[in-house]
Amino acid sequence: MALWGGRFEGGVDAFTQEFGASLEVDKHMAQQDIRGSIAHATMLAEQGVIGAQDREAIVAGLSQISQEIEAGEFVWDINDEDVHMAIERTLTERIGTAGARLHTGRSRNDQVATDIRLLAKDLCAELLEGNHELRRVLADVAEQNLDVVMPGYTHLQHAQPVLFSHHMLAYFWMFTRDARRLKAAFDASDANPLGAAALAGTTYPLNRDRTTELLGFSRTIPNSLDAVSDRDYLLDLEYACAVSMMHLSRLCEEIVLWSSSEFGFITLSDSYSTGSSIMPQKKNPDFAELTRGKTGRVYGDLMALLTTCKSLPLAYNKDLQECKEGPLDAARTLGDCMAIMAGMLETMKVNANVMLSQAGTGFSAATDVADYLAKHGMPFREAHAVVGHLVLECEKRGCGLEDLTLAELRKASELFGEDIMGSLDPAGIARARTTYGGTGNDAVAAQLAEARVTLRV
């Protein structure tokens, strides 16, 4: 009989029991459930609600169960509705009435809420570690390629030359923002609902601040209705995961492009590539593509939870049983994808010569040529038109700005001098962007130093 079966005369239909069970998902928070129960039992004994001997028996029994679960030796009963009942039933079978006293002053509602918050904190902490490692790799790749020049793009068209390290650091800062979102999700989870009971609190003299202390929460939730029904922190976690996956998908898209024959900017390691069953020459960026594809499932996890929580009346509703699988999936997916990305970046070969040769194509020097005229007195709008005309003429002739002679340039404007050739060199163009946050060598070196500081925080 279920632990709540006293009010029922008939047994539960086998299919409905299976439909309502959540044990397979709940197993992922078994250790959090045990931590919560040990804290609850400790507090009950300190408050005189249960005896010290009962508390010792409960703690010893739960510690043994914890070790068995960790070792994969715990026997799960498929008839148990969830992890809470599985652990409590086993505990009571082993230590007798002391185990039956564990649930005093507690409901499954606040028990579940406590477990999920502890789990969310653990997931956030793990993701923050993975995020830190990915950012470290991005910073290392940037530092190893400080002088590599590549074409910068807008609309996927050549725009202006930039340093490859500058491009990598752009992703570093994206993932730094993701780290802040994960930390915010951790902070949102870091509140104790234990002691709220089913929805209204309890008549037992519980010390909720004591379980807050024992479980390492930063604060105690002040409203019992909110304590058992709030899942906003899971939305925060899934949102943080979704945004980070979006950033990963952008980087993956570029890796797929850069590793193609058309670009040839990078060569992926064999460890992060696959072949074809029919085309022996193929080397496919499958893991970048798969990461890009997994972004959709994390978006789905977020939308599913938003929909589940929509219009739910206070306090607890069974709908909330559906709130656990999504965050677990989103966190596991993001963690795996960050690890794949870190390995892919760390082992890829950067083809600097190919990048440099492409950096000067597509009239990427046009802006600097216009700036040259503006610095010599011509209004920028007029300079823009002059260079636009030169680009048009080059397109008709099938050449680049760098192919024009000084005499041909001076036909467009007498302001052009011998030093204009420096404005046509991709490396010089990149180096000239010296403003804070720019792509110039000194500016990127300063940016990299700033990035290293954030990794130490």
Measure Cα distances from 39 to 18, 46, 62, 121, 201 in Å. 30, 11, 11, 17, 17
Q: Which two tokens stand for residue 197?
A: 């009971």
Query: What is the torsion angle, in degrees rounded to the nearest 10, for the CA atoms of residue 312, residue 314, residue 319 and residue 322?
Result: 100
Cα 297 to Cα 120: distance, rounded to the nearest angstrom: 19
Cα atoms found within 13 Å of the Cα of residue 97, Cβ hemisphere only: 3
Cα 153 to Cα 161: distance, rounded to the nearest angstrom: 8
- Exposure b/e, 134-155, CB count within 10 A at least 16 = b: bbbbbbebbbebeebbbbbbee
DSSP strands (E only) in 88-156 = 149-154
Cα 40 to Cα 213: distance, rounded to the nearest angstrom: 11
Tell which residue, 39, 56, 49, has the closest CA to residue 211. 39
Active-site residue flag, 166: no
Helix count (H) and strand count (E) of the chain?
19, 6
Tell which residue, 335, 390, 353, 399, has the closest CA to residue 368. 390
Cα 316 to Cα 198: distance, rounded to the nearest angstrom: 8
Cα 401 to Cα 254: distance, rounded to the nearest angstrom: 27
Contact 188, 161 (CB under 8 A): no
Question: Is the alpha carbon torsion for 24, 28, 32, 34 positive or negative?
Answer: positive
Encoded amino acid at 344, one letter: M
Task: Pick the catalytic residue from 218, 260, 269, 276.
Answer: 276
Cα 152 to Cα 282: distance, rounded to the nearest angstrom: 28
**DSSP tag of 267:** E
- Exposure b/e, 47-77, CB count within 10 A at least 16 = b: eebbeeebbebbbebbeebbeebeeeebebe
Contact 454, 138 (CB under 8 A): no
Active-site residue flag, 28: no
Tell which residue, 25, 29, 6, 40, has the closest CA to residue 81. 25
Give the chain's end-to-end CA distance (angstroms, integer): 52
Task: Pick the catalytic residue from 155, 261, 271, 277.
Answer: 155
Q: Indicate which residues carry an active-site annotation.
A: 155, 276
